[in-house]
A and B are shown apart, each in its own frame.
Chain A
Amino acid sequence: MSGLAHQVISGLASGSIYAAVALALVMIYQATHHVNFAQGEMATLSTYICLTLINAGVPYWGAFVITVIVSFIMGAVVERVLIRPVNNAPILTVVGVFIGLLLVINATDGWIFDYIIKPFPSPFGGGQPMLDGFISSHELGETGVTLLVLLLVYLFFRHTTLGLAMRAAAFNPTSARLCGVRVNRMLALGWGMAAAIGAVAGMMVAPIVFLDPNMMFGILIYAFAGALLGGIDSPLGAVIGGFLVGVLENVFGAYIVGTELKLTVALIIIVAVLLIKPAGLLGRPVQSRV
């Protein structure tokens, strides 16, 4: 029984990462109805930036803050330069641009930082076990940081005028524009925030999975699964879905399919959700007028 509890807790720890990436995906999906296939690669690039800063002698939390700011700018620039021109293009074009972006960032990472797998420092001390070995100090700290980020995002959207404007721009761009909300600026802001959240997830997961250019592929798939499970148009759902996927992945990996097939669990979750409840747990069913 304590084995199961251990799996669940460690699943919640990795689930917090999936929840953060899923939230980033959902933020972009809500605003533009695009799924950002390059979300993981953008986070990996941010993590490399952080590592470079740390190696240059910047203290961890300094590097952390700089990385988040740089990632925010990077996300906003990507939206402005690459995504806006194809905003109303066919799906194939949009997916092509995202995949292109994924390839370019992935190759850039490999080109500049090499394909060698690198360790990444943790601000919470290495992996010494805590609470009777249930959770390592990094897992605990990492979950705390991610939860804090999620809370900040929630407060931002619920209790600030800017957050309200962003929600308005995502919900009904035309009406929002008529009310004086600068919709385009809100989109860039949303992308920036998504990139910043992704960067935090990348920096938090890198000490566990180690840093290499393909680090986020698997995590992105789990995040997709989480976002779909919770409902791709519901931020709260995405967070819950991310945690659920983390737990399911760990429990299934430990007891049913074995660790080597963990990614297949994500695939099965995605297919199962889409077949059984396509709107997800908290999403609204999509109805289209014929």
Chain B
Amino acid sequence: MRDANLAPIGADETRGRLEPWRVAAIVVFLVIAIALMFLVSSYRLFQLSMTISYACAVLSLTVLIGINGQLSLGHGAFYAVGAYATAILMANYNWPYWATIPVAAVAAGIIGFLVGFPALRLAGLYLALVTLALAVAAPQILKVDALSGLTGGVQGLSTDKAEAPFGLPLNPDQWIYLFCLAIGCVVFLLGWNLTRGRIGRAMMAIRDQPLAAESMGINLAAVKTRTFAISAAFAGVAGALTTIVVQFVAPDSFNLFISIWFFVGLVVGGVASIPGALFGGAFIEFVPNIANDISKAAPGAIYGIILMAFMYVLPTGVAGGLHRLFRRLFARRHRTATAR
């Protein structure tokens, strides 16, 4: 079975225990993240909010591709479902922004389940093909006339900007950022909890040795479709956050490239690494911003070159690379200590 080694061996950040240095790292990260809210301009906050949203989307691929070994090139479609669910509820039905998040997750999850069901019979490449076709077809489906009363057709939908509740002394950009941070933390916590326990081990077993996993009593079909649905739900939440941040959705922002960007973010961050998804999100948000100064075509070129370079040189991504670097540093210190 070629499936067996679909994901490169590397930094599985899922071995479980919450070691003290990890807790410390998370606390430091959160303190910095909250402090940033008061330190940087509104535009930077917008970028950071988008980073969190992209990070959730990349995390959805981490769970699906990195942990479970199912290859998807079409998560932009589920991201679009989430984004549109939020936009439709806010613009057409006057729902408050926060209440749309669970609906977006469920809607994307259901669509994900429906796509994941045929995916059961499709290994590796075929699944990549189906999801790629889904990504290419998604903008067309969103533009369909029959749905334009709901989706706004080609023009898309715009929504109101979220305001800080309870009279908190925050401007809307700061509040949106804080909101995204909170939702992002929940999504990452869910992702981490999901992958470190029994279900996570079942997912990894299916990725590494489907046959052995099945003979040990893991229900391949159930785990794979559910993983697909959960992953799609994460992507849906990411889409919902994007709508709340940007206050606008249009079919053409959900083209094939958004799906490919998530894939690039996944590879850059590290396919099986949960913190790596953050690197991936930051990469998707900031690299095109820098590259756009060179040329409109530069982001695509840079993404492509970096993607290939990672495949040849650093298949475990930034997180895997850091992991290896730290291990090597600590191992050396350990050796010198014992030598003394």
Q: Which residues of A contact B (CB under 8 A)?
A: 33-35, 37, 82, 85-86, 89-93, 95-97, 99-111, 115, 217-218, 221, 224-225, 228, 258, 260-264, 266-267, 270-271, 274-275, 278, 288, 290
Contact assessment for B129 and A270 in the assembled complex, using a CB-CB cutoff below 8 Å: yes
Contact A274 B305 (CB under 8 A): no
B274 CB-CB contact with A under 8 Å? no
Q: Indicate which residue in A104, A105, A115, A217 contacts B256 across the interface (CB closer than 8 Å).
A: A217
- B85 CB within 8 Å of chain A: no
Q: Which of B118, B130, B260, B296 contacts A115 (CB 8 A)?
A: B296
Among A260, A261, A267, the residue within 8 A (CB) of B134 is: A267
* Contact of B199 with A by CB under 8 A: no
- CB pair B298 A111 closer than 8 Å: yes
- Return the contact of A86 from the options B299, B303, B311 (Cβ within 8 A): B311
Are B140's CB and A260's CB within 8 A? yes
Q: Which of B3-11, B40-48, B177-185 contacts A (4 or more CB under 8 A)?
A: B3-11
> For B295, what are the chain A residues with a Cβ–Cβ distance below 8 Å?
111
Q: How far is the CB of A232 from chain B (nearest CB, A)?
A: 9
Q: How far is the CB of A64 from chain B (nearest CB, A)?
A: 27
Which stretch (B18-26, B89-97, B141-149) binds chain A? B141-149
> B297 an interface residue at 8 Å Cβ cutoff?
yes
What are the residues of chain B within 8 A of A111 when measuring CB–CB?
A: 295, 297-298, 301
CB-nearest residue of chain A to B305: A104
- By beta carbon, the residue of chain B nearest A95 is B128
A-B contact pairs, 14 of them (CB 8 A): A34-B125, A97-B308, A97-B311, A99-B73, A99-B263, A103-B300, A103-B303, A104-B308, A221-B133, A260-B143, A266-B137, A267-B136, A271-B118, A271-B130
CA distance in complex: A106, B257 (Å): 11
The 4 closest A-B pairs by CB, nearest first: A103-B304, A107-B300, A104-B304, A100-B308
Task: Please give, as numbers and ranges, the residues of chain A lying within 8 Å of B87 by CB-CB distance.
Answer: none
Nearest neighbor of A222 in chain B, beta-carbon distance: B133
Given A35-B129, A107-B301, A264-B137, 16 new contacts (CB under 8 A): A91-B71, A92-B7, A92-B71, A93-B315, A96-B307, A96-B308, A99-B307, A106-B300, A107-B299, A110-B296, A221-B132, A221-B133, A262-B140, A263-B133, A266-B133, A274-B130
Q: Given the complex, which residues of A lie within 8 Å of B145, measured CB to CB?
A: 258, 260
Residue B166 lies at the interface, judged by CB distance under 8 Å to chain A = no
Q: Please give, as numbers and ranges, the residues of chain B lying within 8 Å of A278 by CB-CB distance.
A: 121-122, 126
B144 touches A90 (CB 8 A): no
For the complex formed, measure the closest distance between the CB of A93 and the CB atoms of chain B, giving whole angstroms: 5
Min CB–CB distance A194 → chain B (angstroms): 17
CA distance A260 to B141 in the complex (A): 8
A93–B8 alpha-carbon span in the complex (Å): 8
Chain B: interface size category? 35 or more
B121 with A275: CB separation less than 8 A: yes
Kindly state the separation between the CA atoms of A222 and B297 in the bound complex, as whole angstroms: 26
CA distance A271 to B5 in the complex (A): 25
A274 touches B133 (CB 8 A): no
Residues 249-291 of B, flagged 1 when their CB comes within 8 A of A and 0 if not, give 0000000100010011001000100000000000000000000
What's the minimum C-beta distance from A225 to chain B, rounded to whole angstroms? Answer: 7
Contact A107 B298 (CB under 8 A): yes
Complex: how many Å from CA A263 to CA B304?
A: 25
CB-CB under 8 A for A35 and B6, given A96-B308, A97-B308: no
Q: Which of A37, A95, A101, A264 contacts B141 (CB 8 A)?
A: A264
Q: Which B-chain residue is minimally distant from A262 (CB atoms)?
A: B140
Please give me the residue from chain B that is nearest to A38 by CB atom. B304
A97-B311, A100-B307, A110-B300 known; A92+B8 contact, CB < 8 A: yes
Does the CB pair B297–A275 fall under 8 Å? no
**B211 interfacial contact with A, CB 8 Å:** yes
Give A267 to B271 CA distance when docked, in angstroms. Answer: 27
Let me know if B310 is at the binding interface, CB within 8 A. yes
Contacts of B8 in A (CB 8 A): 90, 92-93
Q: Which residue of B lies closest to A86 (CB)?
A: B311
The interface residues of chain A lying within 8 Å CB-to-CB of B136 are: 217-218, 221, 263, 267
| B124 contacts the other chain (CB 8 A) | yes
